[in-house]
Amino acid sequence: MAIVECGFPSGLTIPGQLPLSGKAALSLRGPTLLVDIGIDPAFFGSALPTMPSGAATAPVAIPSVQVPALIDTGASESCIDEQLAQQLQLPLINTTVTSGIGGSVTLNMYLAHISIPGLVTEYGQFTGVHLQAGGQFHRALIGRKLLDDVLLVYDGDSGLVRLAR
């Protein structure tokens, strides 16, 4: 069984601040793990994505980068930071209207893969959300769809969070 650590059982030290306990760190940052984001055409197989023009196209390889991601069980889909998507030059394939506490907004959709190394990979369309622009630490949100086939253990008292498959 593969297990990925996503919590802070040893606590957390943030430069310029006192060290935090595992419980305090988990409360501050939420369940966090490193994910790989990029495009590996092998993930797409014969299911080629459709671009805004309506044409199916083979994706071009974009080397993965590893970034911190928040496990967000309130989100049905996973999302990628808009600035990161632009930096990686992920293909813009669509837009979507979504809503949150700030009301409705139109956001870009990018072709990519998000991989939790050793556990699961999801490929397809991901919404570009404004995490970095909003001062957030995380560069991706991991939604319920990517977590469909994993076990999530959340121990708020100790700061321990694990994903297993």
Which strand ranges, in their side-by-side order, compose the sheet holding 151-155? 3-5, 160-164, 151-155
Q: In the chain, what are the domains?
A: 3-49+62-164 (2.40.70.10)
pLDDT digits (tens, 9 = 90+) for 56-85: 566 788 889 999 999 999 999 999 999 999
Considering only CA atoms, give the Rg of the chain: 17
CB 102 within 8 A of CB 47: no
Q: Give dist(CA 154, CA 160) in Å, integer.
A: 6
Q: Give dist(CA 103, CA 14) in Å, integer.
A: 32
DSSP character string of 95-149: EEEEEETTEEEEEEEEEEEEEETTTEEEEEEEEEE-TGGGT-S-SEEE-TTTTTT
pTM above 0.75, yes or no: yes
What are the residues whose beta carbons fall under 8 Å from the beta carbon of 121, sequence distance 6 or more? Answer: 43, 113, 114, 115
Amino acid identity for residue 124 in this structure: G
Mean pLDDT split into 10-residue runs, the chain, 165 residues: 90 83 92 95 64 61 94 95 97 89 90 94 93 95 95 94 95
Residue 56: its pLDDT value, please?
56
